[in-house]
Amino acid sequence: MPGEWETFYLMVGSSAAALIGLLFVVLTLSADFDLRRAQAGSEAFVTPTAFHFGVIVFMSAVAIMPAIPAAVMGVAVAVPSVLGIAYAAWAARRISRSTLLAHEPIDYVLYVFLPAAAYLGLLGSAVAVWLNTEWGFHGIAIAALGLLLIGIRDAWDLAVYLAYHKEDKPKG
């Protein structure tokens, strides 16, 4: 990884790590919600967001390792890319099968299609890095930034949902 990328990955990775911590704080807001609805919501919406942030932290840590060979970097990015594509499919299944969650068509775009597109781009970039092409590093950076922005938006969606659904908490 070229040295000029170090600051970028330090910033993106530490932002994702901080947002994982804030996501846990947001989750404490749902502590009084109906347990079944909270669990369904967590599986469909929270866990994928935390996964995206975790992938960013992992990739950022790998990216700033000193003297990492391009082939190792390519594999280290390809593995979470494939997992992310599978995870997006899993999230679509969780959203569509849940009878406890109110979801909108836009949820599929923001929680399934955009992350899947980012992971597909990340996988292509991983192959490019493995083949030692310069544009692969740019693709990884764009995908990491895209996943970070998707995660920020999804965490915001969760926080707003919890704030507006306080009345959904069981009484007594």
> How confident is the model over 33-63, as pLDDT tens digits?
655 655 655 666 778 888 999 999 999 999 8
Question: What pTM value is reported for the model?
Answer: 0.84
Q: Are 63 and 73 a contacting pair, CB within 8 Å?
A: yes
Query: Using alpha carbons only, what angle is made at residue 146 by residues 144 and 147, rounded to the nearest 5 degrees?
Result: 65
Name every residue whose Cβ is closer than 8 Å to that of residue 147 and which is 6 or more positions away in sequence: 52, 53, 55, 56, 115, 118, 119, 122
> For 116-161, how does the pLDDT look when each residue is reduced to its tens digit (9 = 90+)?
999 999 999 999 999 988 899 999 999 999 999 999 988 888 777 7
Alpha-carbon gap, residue 83 to 30, rounded angstroms: 28
Residue 109 has a CB neighbour count (10 Å cut-off) of 12
Between 154 and 99, where is the model more confident?
154
